[in-house]
A and B are shown apart, each in its own frame.
Chain A
């Protein structure tokens, strides 16, 4: 059986630096004065997470704040290297929608950002010319293309970002909690697009706090807690498990 994404024993440690020393001076002082020394603490954001995703499957990642969902997404996207373990992708064409925007530059206009943003994914000019009108149409921002992105509302930024990400025609789409900012009609449009995506045999990893969205998009879901995958299976069961975790936290 072929897999689109293989996550194998992935762990990720972050070094938390208390009174962070990013300057040479404070590091030198730290040698002599214990009080100024940087204290390092290792935080395991992910612990030996393993799962496979098949092509055409949508996997939801759910969990409480700080459970490691976004870190895992960034490792799959290749933004962070895992501390141990590895991620194998069947196809390198990955579209990411992580936080707002694809990394838009606030001073550039919408149009310039589409060109810059798409070239970040390795597209050349002709390819961008081809998708440009679709991106604009999907984002419904035709009248704002010559305006600096810094003047966009957060909803507009999310629309432009999502429009760009889906029109890059990636084989794997990683979506992190971006639908929360768009209005309802845009959210519906995004959901419809993702369903269309999935039926076209493409793979989605979807991070969300909204059980309804996860239920609608995902066949399976993985519940993360303190960096460990505590459950992997049917979406409904995963959501029940997640709710149980939330309740457990309150009691």
Chain B
């Protein structure tokens, strides 16, 4: 992992490469990255706020918190299915610490996540009168743990895809399932205890709830909540990184 720091310039360049390639030659550039969450939030607000009538106040703001966090996780994971494979032309020619690729993928998506937040929070203020509170400070430790958790999951996916190309499709389906098992478009308090326990089986739910508590309910996380997030993040990073380290020497031959 120390090599990650030594190669920070490479990581920076890989992130910049992805950003440049994504927006090169497009007129609206970064605005496209906002179009997706804004459209999703608008559609869900309409469908679940007006047609199905989910009774959550300032529902679009509630959705925004969950969806942006989800997009960060889901897009990191989808992208990391290719983070080692797509850099095959590099890996086959230069000895390079493989860690940099998933790390760059997560940082790229983190940049997108933060940019979207920076743009959408003022909108939430304008349209829903959302004002900051001290509890918002809890966002930063939650985000840090969420990033670690996501990185761990990306190590798993990046490693597995090198050996089984199916992982890409499997991840896509799994994410779709997990999206509905995460309290993003509904409030966990509004569902039955039996359903709640199902939702709690999904580790991603805890991060979503953490964000919602801090940013929506303006409550600081309790010690238990913080402990759960820490344990999840550490477990995921260990579960992801250990197999990655064991198998990374074979990547150059397999990609």
Q: Is A204 an interface residue (CB 8 A)?
A: no
- Sample (17) of A-B pairs whose CB atoms are under 8 Å apart: A22-B163, A23-B164, A23-B166, A24-B164, A25-B166, A74-B252, A77-B95, A78-B95, A80-B252, A98-B92, A98-B94, A101-B89, A102-B94, A108-B20, A112-B17, A119-B12, A124-B8
Task: Decide if the interface of chain A is mainly helix, strand, loop or mixed.
Answer: loop
Please pick, from A23, A101, A120, the residue contacting B10 in the complex, using a CB distance under 8 A: A120
CB-based contact A121/B24 at 8 Å: no
Q: Please, which residues of chain B bring their CB within 8 A of the CB of A128?
A: 9
Most A CB within 10 A of own CB, among B163, B164, B165: B164
Q: Is A31 an interface residue (CB 8 A)?
A: no
Q: For the complex of A and B, list the 9 residue pairs with the smallest distance between their C-beta atoms, beginning with the closest.
A: A78-B95, A103-B90, A119-B10, A119-B9, A81-B249, A103-B93, A116-B13, A124-B9, A98-B93
Kindly identify, within residues 28 to 85 of chain B, every residue whose CB is under 8 Å from any CB belonging to chain A.
Answer: none
**B-facing mask of A96-124, CB < 8 A → 1, else 0?**
10110111110110001001100111111
A178 to B243, CA, bound (A): 36
CB-based contact B17/A116 at 8 Å: yes
CB-based contact A77/B94 at 8 Å: yes
CB-based contact B95/A99 at 8 Å: no
Q: Please, which residues of chain B bring their CB within 8 A of the CB of A80?
A: 252-253
Q: How distant is B164 from chain A, measured CB to nearest CB, in Å?
A: 6
CB-based contact B252/A116 at 8 Å: no
Q: Is A125 an interface residue (CB 8 A)?
A: yes
A24 to B17, CA, bound (A): 32
CB-based contact B95/A119 at 8 Å: no
- Would A22 and B164 be within 8 Å (CB), given that A79-B91, A79-B94, A98-B93 are in contact? yes
A81 to B246, CA, bound (A): 12
CB-based contact A79/B17 at 8 Å: no
Closest to B169 in A: A23
A98 to B91, CA, bound (A): 11
Q: Is A14 an interface residue (CB 8 A)?
A: yes
CB-based contact A22/B7 at 8 Å: no
Please pick, from A24, A94, A105, A123, the residue contacting B95 in the complex, using a CB distance under 8 A: A94
CB-based contact A103/B14 at 8 Å: no
Q: How distant is A113 from chain B, measured CB to nearest CB, in Å?
A: 9
> A residues touching B (Cβ–Cβ < 8 Å)?
14, 22-25, 74, 77-81, 94, 96, 98-99, 101-105, 107-108, 112, 115-116, 119-125, 128
Please pick, from A14, A25, A81, A96, the residue contacting B94 in the complex, using a CB distance under 8 A: A96
A101 to B89, CA, bound (A): 9
Q: Please, which residues of chain B bring their CB within 8 A of the CB of A22?
A: 163-165
Please pick, from A94, A107, A125, the residue contacting B21 in the complex, using a CB distance under 8 A: A107
Q: Is B96 an interface residue (CB 8 A)?
A: yes
Closest to A15 in B: B253
CB-based contact A79/B13 at 8 Å: no
Q: How distant is A169 from chain B, measured CB to nearest CB, in Å?
A: 16
A22 to B21, CA, bound (A): 29
CB-based contact B252/A108 at 8 Å: no
A120 to B99, CA, bound (A): 12
A78 to B163, CA, bound (A): 20
Given A103-B90, A115-B13, 11 extra CB contacts under 8 A = A22-B165, A80-B253, A96-B93, A98-B92, A99-B92, A99-B93, A103-B93, A107-B24, A116-B10, A116-B14, A122-B6
Q: Please, which residues of chain A bring their CB within 8 A of the CB of B92?
A: 74, 79, 98-99, 103
CB-based contact B165/A23 at 8 Å: yes
Q: Please, which residues of chain A bring their CB within 8 A of the CB of B91?
A: 79, 103
A124 to B250, CA, bound (A): 27
Q: Please, which residues of chain B bring their CB within 8 A of the CB of A14?
A: 253
Q: Please, which residues of chain B bring their CB within 8 A of the CB of A123?
A: 9
**A-facing mask of B95-116, CB < 8 A → 1, else 0?**
1100000000000000000000
- Would A120 and B94 be within 8 Å (CB), given that A24-B166, A108-B20 are in contact? yes
Please pick, from A78, A108, A124, the residue contacting B17 in the complex, using a CB distance under 8 A: A108
